[in-house]
Amino acid sequence: MKALVTGASSGIGRDMARYLSSLGYDLVIVARRENLLEELKKDLKTNVEIEVLDVSKEENCKELFEKHKDIDLLINNAGFGLFGEFTEIDLDKEISLIDTNIKATHILTKLYAKSMKEKNKGKILNVASIAGFMTGPLMSAYYASKNYVVELSSGINEELKKAKSNVRISILCPGPVDTNFNNVAGVRFSVKSLSSEYVAKYAIDKTLKGKEIIIPGIGIKILYGLNKLSPRFISTELAYHTQKSKKK
């Protein structure tokens, strides 16, 4: 068994790699920071290959697939957020977010889903967020990117089911997690964050069982249910005030 994990140098991606190794998976770990990947490799018990690259670059995603086609589990975890007024956030940073959160996930999902479908085996775990079901003023680009991941993954999964394929796509949709995401995005959360170790293990276990929508934590499950029942204008207004309270 072999898994490929993007964004593996820290946070959820790192802890997913650790847990997968404990389950006996050989690994391809991908990130931009070589020193952190080397440190992680030392902790892992199985065979590990390191790929130091930026998945926001289209050619890197294609080269990654060509080099590592024989993968049983793909985890698209690389991503980040930005906080602030849409009219004030630097455009280049937003384009980088789109290239990482959307474009890289789309390309790798496309390439590996096609390959897996031909072999009639394999799983893909796309890391989204509970934000993927919501509108997110003050983090509009991030929320929109995770909406894209959720809807893309669900659509493909339905196509695979209709084709009677054994390939499945799962979508991880956590709330706040104790990672470096908050520092990069420039936010703080008023609610208690789940540990990345817990979220990583929960997500992998559910993915291996074939679950599509994976939401760790009872509080976030309740929020997900309430959001589905709330009129859009109310949920958007609440999201704005919630987002505003996160500002550091």
Residues recognised as catalytic: 142
In 3D space, the residue among 119, 115, 123 whose CA is nearest the CA of residue 153 turns out to be 123
Strand partners, 178: 195
Residues ≥6 apart with Cβ < 8 Å to 101 = 79, 80, 142, 145, 146, 148, 149
Cβ-defined contacts of 55-63 (< 8 Å, 24+): 55/6, 55/7, 55/30, 55/100, 55/104, 55/108, 56/96, 56/99, 56/100, 56/103, 56/104, 57/99, 58/103, 58/107, 61/104, 61/107, 61/108, 61/111, 62/107, 62/111
CB neighbours (10 Å) of residue 147? 19
- Amino acid sitting at position 43: D
In 3D space, the residue among 3, 4, 11 whose CA is nearest the CA of residue 180 turns out to be 11
CB-based contact 232:147 (threshold 8 Å): no
The three-point CA angle 134-183-181 to 5° equals 50
Q: Where are the beta strands (DSSP E) in 85-222?
A: 123-127, 168-172, 177-178, 194-195, 213-214
